[in-house]
Structure 1
């Protein structure tokens, strides 16, 4: 008997509840269970998996190969929406095996499309390879509705890569086919995606028309994710057009549907958009309120993620390895199917040359194991340096917010606007470069200028700074690790200049010596040795500098480079930091 939790869903797809048990005896009913499972994949993926498991049990009892294959494929889809990549891969591999036995090219293409979806957020190029495999089969079979779905997936990848014009070409093709075949959900998704692409291409009017239509249709079908994404794009367009009233309407509707979905990440995106809106309106107290909310949520998320970031990303990497191993399984199965007689020859060879082959196999697997372990170690090291790179000093953020609050309190709106605008630019630049392993020297200097100009506004005459660049340096061509210099400047500010009553200066010099970039950070503060002596034993040390040294160690290990950092006191006072980077 079926599990009771499935009854309410199955009854929607059978004429009478009593027919459910009777119809399980034939293959048609298995197909109907699979269809019911697939239809609820977007609203209840857990039920999709449970129904597919039931269909799988009955299909195996009847030895119904198509039912077994399709149940595995649909189970994989449900697991994909539940983010269980490893189990999804296993189900897809099983589905592909049975579809190949049946020579069912149409559904073989569907599985390739499913594999593309798995890779979509891991490896864009790999996803495109699978989508194009599926598209090749679909075009030969002339299956319009399936071809359109693959075009939509390819367009999504191209949009992620920034190829908006090519993405639009694929979207228009898919949209026309969805309209012709009556596939409403995918038609609405195409409308939203094309609206976002037109926005990125600065064709605001076409973008608004597409996004409005997507929202209207999505509300009829309860597609909350489409409503949330479309309103966020509309809010950005209205903000650029200075239509603040409509911006606020889009933000409020987006927050409403994000909360209905329980999507806190999207709520945070909308809060930041609300902050940008209030800055444009010059409503600084309200802007500050939204900025505090955004920073509060970001800080909570950061504190949750940092402790287990390495574990999760390493697990993610191992899942990717599992996908690759299963691809090898698929290749082996294909080999067995197409070259069976070679297997017989191989067995005879193994019998005759067992000792020699055993030695070779042992050597091969030992080497492979060592290579795989080294690759995993290097990947984990890379992920560690990304996690270290993602941190931002919360003391600096809260001090700036307090300074803004001070200026607002004394009705210094011009100063408040200046520091609020500067801080917004600094945060945006920080978020932009912290996602990259390496950036140009030009970008790093931009970031340092934003940071130092903000500190200059805060401390006025108590500090001065200068940035000097050697004429032999092409700042846009030289690539360096991101966020490497700022912690040393921050350290010079807080532990060197500020303890002095009359403040001081910071000088940053960029010099090229052959194939080395030398970065000298000089200050006339109290000196690094004096600063260390003046600290109480329990006083907190700079975590930022510790992270930099950890990052440099990892970068030297991964890239086999030789980045050097030295810190010395220049006399009775003052500090010199020298960073040398191979270029």
Structure 2
């Protein structure tokens, strides 16, 4: 999933952003002077957290937690709503979507007691941003429109601006680029006319992305530079890191590699200081591409290793966000039911004179509503658990396709070429390795790709493994004439685990040169994919059985999911031969159009 915060505006309506150190110091003085647990002290804590959020997220979280504790002590609903909203914002800046959504939802519940429509609208906006990041754009628009409606009612220019920009973001993501550009320019003028400078860097970044998509790089560069200048003036290091990385992307496309490298190094440094891992990972990936273009093999190798480590450290967070995307409806209904129950309970206490019969009817009605909600929630939870299983299987499949052993061994092979001063071989190997990693990452978000693309990726993978084994095996692809590989769809790299087993547990243990044959044919409404080798096979090879069972297990789970979704009967079968192994994978035959 690609994160959109570079394009999204978060709202904090009841507190001001004090970026200057003297403002922070004055707020800290308020904390020192007020030992009592009162609303002024809570507001100061929230304001400090917000002021340092783009500088030090860990410290910002400490101040938000203190504000929550004091608000609980004095039972101040507005303080709780604002504190939890701030805590959600901190976790968003830390790239922890799961926690950001959880605390934003909690803040939304407290707005019912606080009775502040503008505060409620600000939280809807923040939730909309997270929906946008997990690419549920319909729900994101729904949240932004709630903000816009309230902002117009109370005549809040700032919040109208935020709503318009975020709606424009969704237009950009959906490909309505001219509409997005028009809205961004209106938003930029609104910000300039009303001295809302804090929004200008983000709006400029948004505008630049739309111009890039329209292939107008000169205008994109112009607005990125405007944004950088304003971000430096405001000391907004978080957005500054994003702006510099995006400008580096343009310079990379224009082959201005020195400027691109300089900007990316600055962006990486800023991302580290902000502890924003995702931005740092994206900058490292682009910097690797710069060094690759410069033929700086050693630097490219070192940067790519750092990128892989950082990417793997945040992959679980992405998985949680995907699960939460599917489960959020259930959580929202549950929280709303609890909030409504609390409101009804308070009403019952205040209206103690209600006669027993009426009270019984009301309680029964509430019980029925809660029971009905629980039934729906249980159904939604079961669906969410199945979807979580799907996500988990897909993640395992990706890891099985490009497992850490393959990555480690490939990088070691590159390093070996470098040590031997074989720069030409290192460069060729690195280029192939970069292509396969990039294509694998891109394909990992697709449920299906064309057979032609999948076979190209498998061929590249086998070329790399052949280089590592000093051409110990040959291979061939055979596709039946009645199959149009450009139109036929298959799950990405579903054959890769079996090819890997053929290479490393069949042919590598064989004396002499081995051969792998991959054939694709059509039988009725099924696509039959066959991987056949002349290796040592499975006879008396317990360790090989375990290895193949792992790939078979993951592939079977993927096919089970396909069967359930499409009501088909896909299968996996392993056939031991006198010499070697034959694997047959049957999938539903599907055309792209």
TM-score band by shorter chain is: 0.7 to 0.9
**2:572 alignment partner in structure 1:** 565
Q: Does 1:290 align with 2:303?
A: yes
**1:423 alignment partner in structure 2:** 433
**1:88 alignment partner in structure 2:** 104
Q: Which has the higher contact order (CA 8 A, sep 6+)?
A: 2
Please give the per-residue CA displacement for 1:81-136, whole angstroms capped at 9, x wherever unaligned. Answer: 2434334323223314543xxxx665554443244235343433212111112223
Moved more, 74-83 or 321-330: 321-330
Residues 290 and 45 of structure 1: is their aligned pair in 2 closer, same or farther, counting only changes over 3 Å?
closer
Distance in 2 (CA, whole Å) between partners of 1:41 and 1:139 is 30
**1:172 alignment partner in structure 2:** 185
Distance in 2 (CA, whole Å) between partners of 1:241 and 1:361 is 61
CA contact (8 A) 2:248 2:260 kept: yes
SS at match of 1:12: helix
How many residue pairs get matched? 545
**1:446 alignment partner in structure 2:** 456
Please give the per-residue CA displacement for 1:389-414, whole angstroms capped at 9, x wherever unaligned. Answer: 23122222233223333434444433
Please give the per-residue CA displacement for 1:329-384, whole angstroms capped at 9, x wherever unaligned. Answer: 67899999xxxxxxx99x76975998xx9998898578546524422331231232
Q: 1:12 aligns with which of 23, 26, 32?
A: 26
**1:581 alignment partner in structure 2:** 587
The correspondence of residues 46-445 of structure 1 with structure 2, limited to 5 A, is 46-48=62-64, 50-51=66-67, 54=70, 68-69=77-78, 71-83=79-91, 84=99, 85-96=101-112, 98-99=114-115, 106=118, 109-122=121-134, 123-139=136-152, 142-161=155-174, 163-298=176-311, 301=313, 321-327=330-336, 367-368=375-376, 370-391=378-399, 392-445=402-455
SS at match of 2:295: coil
Please give the per-residue CA displacement for 1:115-170, whole angstroms capped at 9, x wherever unaligned. Answer: 42353434332121111122234345553322111112223344455554443333
Distance in 1 (CA, whole Å) between partners of 2:318 and 2:219 is 41
Please give the per-residue CA displacement for 1:265-285, whole angstroms capped at 9, x wherever unaligned. Answer: 433333332221122111222
**1:340 alignment partner in structure 2:** none
Gaps of 5+ in 1: 1-7, 61-67, 337-343
Residues 412 and 146 of structure 1: is their aligned pair in 2 closer, same or farther, counting only changes over 3 Å?
same
Moved more, 491-500 or 163-172: 163-172
**1:520 alignment partner in structure 2:** 530
Please give the per-residue CA displacement for 1:450-494, whole angstroms capped at 9, x wherever unaligned. Answer: 212323444464322222222333434443333311111111111
Residues 439 and 92 of structure 1: is their aligned pair in 2 closer, same or farther, counting only changes over 3 Å?
same
Residues 35 and 179 of structure 1: is their aligned pair in 2 closer, same or farther, counting only changes over 3 Å?
farther
**1:63 alignment partner in structure 2:** none
Moved more, 402-411 or 327-336: 327-336
Distance in 2 (CA, whole Å) between partners of 1:443 and 1:47 is 51
Q: 1:468 aligns with which of 459, 475, 478?
A: 478
Residues 37 and 518 of structure 1: is their aligned pair in 2 closer, same or farther, counting only changes over 3 Å?
same
**How much has 1:315 moved relative to structure 2?**
7.2
Distance in 2 (CA, whole Å) between partners of 1:547 and 1:22 is 59
Aligned-residue Cα RMSD (Å) equals 4.2
TM normalised by structure 1 equals 0.79
Distance in 1 (CA, whole Å) between partners of 2:311 and 2:28 is 48
CA contact (8 A) 1:13 1:32 kept: no
**How much has 1:52 moved relative to structure 2?**
6.7
TM normalised by structure 2 equals 0.78
